[in-house]
Every structure is written in structure tokens, then in C-alpha cells.
Amino acid sequence: MQNIFFDTRILDKKSREKFYLTEELMMENAAQELESCVMPHVFHESSRYINRPCVLILAGRGNNGADGYVLARRLSCHDFCVAVCCIGEPSSEIAKVQKKRAELLGVSFISPYDLDSFVEEKSFDISVVVDCVYDSGFHLPLDAESEAVIQSANKIEAFKVSCDVPSGLDSDGNGKIVFRADETVAMGALKLSLFSDKAKDFCGKVKVCNLGISRNNFEFLETPDAFLLEKEEMKLPFRKMQNVHKGTFGHVALAAGEKTGAAKIAANSAFAFGAGLVTLVGIEDSGFMNIMASLELPENTTALVLGCGFGRKNPSFQKYFDFFKENKNIPCVLDADIFYYKEILNLLTERGNFVLTPHPKEFSALLENCGFGKFSVQEIVEKRIELIKLFCGKFKDSVLVLKGAVVLIGTWSKNEGRVKIYLNPYGNNSLAKGGTGDILSGLIASLLAQGYDCVNAAVTASLAHSFASEKVKNNFALTPQLLIEKISEL
């Protein structure tokens, strides 16, 4: 698990104060890391061309631009062209000094207005473009000059590297015109802006640069704002004991409503992820040999799924709500249609032990029904962290899994007295299919039935869901059945 910070400038400041790191030393380390990312691609990428390779650096006015000037100086000793497109004059003294040093060593400088003609120059071929325009403290909107440069740079066929964050992404990870990087080098620590839904199309591979002290020493100076999940956090339900029976591994009950297919998909995923027994409630025949059916909730239920294809006006909802109130120790996954019921506020207030798995539109309905007000889907996408903190701060005994290109898991930490947020950036666009959300609900419920707590069930199921999707050969070909089959290959 890795730490993520909203703003690392305070870390920069504290590291300079505590470890006597100068700004210039930190820039030199940043440029060294950028250089190590650039060098393998200069001649590799240029092998497609016949002319002398060139590294093009886009430099902004601030210290991110200064990093670019230092990089240009370091690269100038190699046998290839180095050019810097300067978006405005340096605004800080150290940036002015770094530019002057590069200039004295013969680095070429071009203006934004000459960029397109420079790119078309036939005496060399651009093999790498390095984005050093804005850092993670950027606030929208972009100025017209930067917009034009980023748009031109995105058209260049070359390997692209971003310094700190892709320029055009603001501190919340939003932006309209964004530099499209193949690799992003985060300075010192990971930033939240790198893990928005929007950012997933622009960051490429993300790595962290050491600025002169170890990453642990750097990050220790401040409390992280979120945590990046890694594969090691996926604790699969491997069976260790031999003297067991089907009841040992729990009984998942799923409410079948108007669209029974959704509940059936969730039921099959729950069974495939280790639950000993699975029952569809509200129908007489499940249609599957391994899935039971019952008109009433089984007495030995150890986890429940409510909402998948349930319908937004299903009168039987009261039966399930009453069950929850009478059986507060039985964990439950709430999904899909159930977020549109106004009664959900009373339910969440009276008890916890819930894992809620909305996508942004469902989260909008949930927030409104829980008294937080009306939020559009766009507002939710842009303010995900803020809204998760609001929700989990009020309903402290439940776990929220907000689905998206990057999955966010929010939970109240009693030990720390704050909402902790875990990010799952894995998986891919193959999951943009009907039924994949139902599979996630089934996976979580299966783990709950087997004794996992809500947080660990949400984390492991979410990661399993994502990593299984990456095993599908063609991203357009995923089906619910295929995704469930890939779970067994983890």
C-alpha cells in the first residue's frame, strides 16, 4: 500500500527545513530521474526515423519549468538535439538561473508560436517529449498559450513523459485539455490528482522520484490523504482447514427483484468466490444447479445482497429492511436500485455493517436521500474525495465503494478519527459492460459470508474484480461469465 497526498508542497517545505535540502538540490534529483526515464527512449523511438533524434522539453514559468531547464542542461552533453519550448519567462529566481545555465550550454529555445514549424523541421526527429509546464498545484483554467502547446505536443508521435503530473490536470484531477503522457514521474510522493477517473487516460505508467532523501523520510513528514492499494492487499479466500463442510464458508442470500438476471449474476460470482451456499430469494427456481432458490430469507443467512435488479418500487423492500433491523450483525451489500429508496436514510442511521457499491449516478441518489443535497453526476466525478468523506463521516459503521475508472473505498477509522480512502486504479475499460457491477456485489458478499470484515471484503473483492478483468484477452469481449471464470485464475 502506498501513501497518496493531495498537495506535496508542504512536504517539500518541511523536507527543506528538516533535512537541509536546498531547492536546487531537489531540482537536480528531479531532473536526474526524468533523465533516466528519457534516455532509454531517445534512440529506441528514433529507430523509426532516419534523422538525428531530438528531445523536446515543454517548460512552464514556475519551478516545474525549472526542472525542465535542469533536464535540458543534463541532456545537452549527449549526441542528440535538445530543445526547450518556453511558455513564458521564468517567474522565480531559481528558474531564471536554471534557464541561463541551459542557454550557456547551447540548448535551443523556441517560442510556443514556433512549435508547430519546429516539429515539422526535417533535419531531426522528435523521439521524446517531456512535459514540465505545470505541477500538481495547478488550478484551472489553462491559459491560451499553454492550451495550444499541449494540443500540439499531443499530436507528436513520440514517447511522452510528464514531470509531477500531466499538465492540464488540476489538483483535483480534472481538466479539459491535458498532456497525454506515456509515463508520469511524481516528484517525492504520489498525488491524488494522478488517480482521478479523468487522469487514467493521461498519466500512463506512474513512478515516484526520490528528491534527495528516501521516500519514507519524505512521506513521514505529513499524514497521507489516501492510500493506493496494491496486489498484496488482495487476500483471496484460500481454504486451509480440511475438516470443513459447506456451511463453514457461509450462506449468501440475494434478493431477486424485477430484473432477476442481475441477482443471478451476483449469485454466481458469490459462489465462484468461495461462499459455501448461495440462495436467490423471491423466486422459485434459480435456473442454476449450484444456486438455490427460496421465497423467504434462509435462516442460516450470513450475508445478504440487496439492490441488484431489485427495482425502484418493489414493495418487498420493507421485508428486507425489517430483516436488517432485526439482524444487525449480518453484513449486507447494498447496490443499484436500493439507493433510490428514501427509507435508506433510516436504515443506515439505525445500523451499520453495510458495504454500499454505487456508481456516480446511484451515489447522486444516495446522497440526496441521505440529506446531503442534490449533486449532478459531473459534480460527483469532480468531487469524489470530498463527497466520500462527507458520507463516511456521517455513516461511520458502513463502507462505501464508489465505482468508476478508479474505484474509491471509503471507511471511517475509529483509531485515527477520520475517513480513510483507498484507491484501486487497476482494471480496464472491459468492465464497462452490464453485469460487472453485479459481479462485484457478489464477490463482496461472498467474503462477508466467509467472515471478512466490511473493509477487507471491499478491498479484496474490488482488487480481484479488477485483476480478473486484466486477464481477458480482448477488452471488447468480456462477458459476466468470462469475468467470473477469470476469478479462478487469480
DSSP string, 348-373: HHH---EEE---HHHHHHHHHHTTS-
3-class DSSP state of 37? helix
Residue 359 annotated as part of some ligand binding site: yes
Q: Are 441 and 262 in contact (CB under 8 A)?
A: no
Question: What is the spatial distance between Cα 325 and Cα 231, in angstroms, rounded to a whole number?
Answer: 36
Q: With the CA atoms of 383, 386, 388 and 390 taken in that order, what torsion angle do they form, in degrees rounded to the nearest 10?
A: -130
Q: Are 469 and 483 in contact (CB under 8 A)?
A: yes
Asked, colleague to colleague, whether 2-224 and 231-487 share their fold, the answer is: no
Q: Please write the tens of the pLDDT for every residue from 290-323.
A: 899 999 999 999 999 999 999 999 999 999 999 9
136-140, 391-395, 444-448, 486-490, range with the lowest pLDDT: 136-140
Query: Which residue would you say has higher pLDDT here, 287 or 36?
Result: 36
pLDDT at 117 over 70: yes
pLDDT at 47 over 80: no
Q: Mean pLDDT over residues 141-150, rounded? A: 90
Question: What is the spatial distance between Cα 218 and Cα 209, in angstroms, rounded to a whole number?
Answer: 11
Residue 210 annotated as part of some ligand binding site: no
Nearest-5° angle of CA 204, CA 229, CA 412? 130
Q: How far apart are the first and last CA of the chain?
A: 19
pLDDT score, position 298: 94
DSSP 190-207: EEGGGGSTGGGGT--EEE
Q: Mean pLDDT over residues 443-465, rounded? A: 98
Residue 162 annotated as part of some ligand binding site: no
For helices 436-449 and 260-272, the axis angle rounded to 10 degrees is 50
Q: How confident is the model at residue 358 (pLDDT cuts 50, 70, 90)?
A: very high
Is the CATH number of domain 231-487 3.40.1190.20? yes
Q: Are 399 and 458 in contact (CB under 8 A)?
A: yes
The DSSP output letter for 91 is -
Q: Are strands 2-5 and 226-228 parallel, antiparallel or unpaired?
A: antiparallel
Question: What is the spatial distance between Cα 478 and Cα 431, in angstroms, rounded to a whole number?
Answer: 7
What is the side-by-side order of every strand in the sheet holding 124-132?
Answer: 108-110, 81-86, 52-59, 124-132, 159-163, 183-187, 205-209
Residue 64 annotated as part of some ligand binding site: yes
pLDDT at 366 over 60: yes
Report the 10 Å Cβ neighbour count for 351: 18
Q: Are strands 398-402 and 407-413 parallel, antiparallel or unpaired?
A: antiparallel
Residue 167 annotated as part of some ligand binding site: yes
Residue 65 annotated as part of some ligand binding site: yes
Q: How confident is the model at residue 344 (pLDDT cuts 50, 70, 90)?
A: very high
Q: Are 193 and 9 in contact (CB under 8 A)?
A: no
Residue 172 annotated as part of some ligand binding site: no
pLDDT score, position 49: 61
Residue 67 annotated as part of some ligand binding site: yes
pLDDT at 46 over 60: no
Residue 137 annotated as part of some ligand binding site: yes
pLDDT score, position 51: 76
Residue 80 annotated as part of some ligand binding site: no
Long-range contact list for 245-248, CB < 8 A, 24+ apart? 245/276, 246/276, 246/277, 247/276, 247/277, 247/300, 248/276
Residue 277 annotated as part of some ligand binding site: no
Q: How confident is the model at residue 359 (pLDDT cuts 50, 70, 90)?
A: very high
Residues pairing with 191 in the sheet: 5
pLDDT score, position 48: 62
pLDDT at 337 over 70: yes
Q: Please write the tens of the pLDDT for every residue from 179-232.
A: 999 999 999 999 999 999 999 999 999 999 999 999 999 999 999 999 999 999
For 208, phi and psi rounded to 5 degrees?
A: -105, 135
For 127, phi and psi rounded to 5 degrees?
A: -105, -25
pLDDT score, position 50: 67
Is the CATH number of domain 2-224 3.40.50.11900? no
Q: How many CA atoms lie within 13 A of 257 on its CB side?
A: 23
Q: Mean pLDDT over residues 47-58, rounded? A: 81
Q: Please write the tens of the pLDDT for every residue from 466-476.
A: 999 999 989 99
Percentage of the residues of the chain whose pLDDT score is greater than 90: 82
pLDDT at 76 over 70: yes
Residue 140 annotated as part of some ligand binding site: yes
Residue 251 annotated as part of some ligand binding site: no
Which of 386, 326, 339 is CA-nearest to residue 367?
339
Question: What is the spatial distance between Cα 40 and Cα 439, in angstroms, rounded to a whole number?
Answer: 41
The DSSP output letter for 90 is -
Residue 309 annotated as part of some ligand binding site: yes
Q: Please write the tens of the pLDDT for every residue from 237-289.
A: 999 999 899 899 999 999 998 999 999 999 999 999 999 999 999 998 888 88
Domains of the chain by residue range? 2-224, 231-487
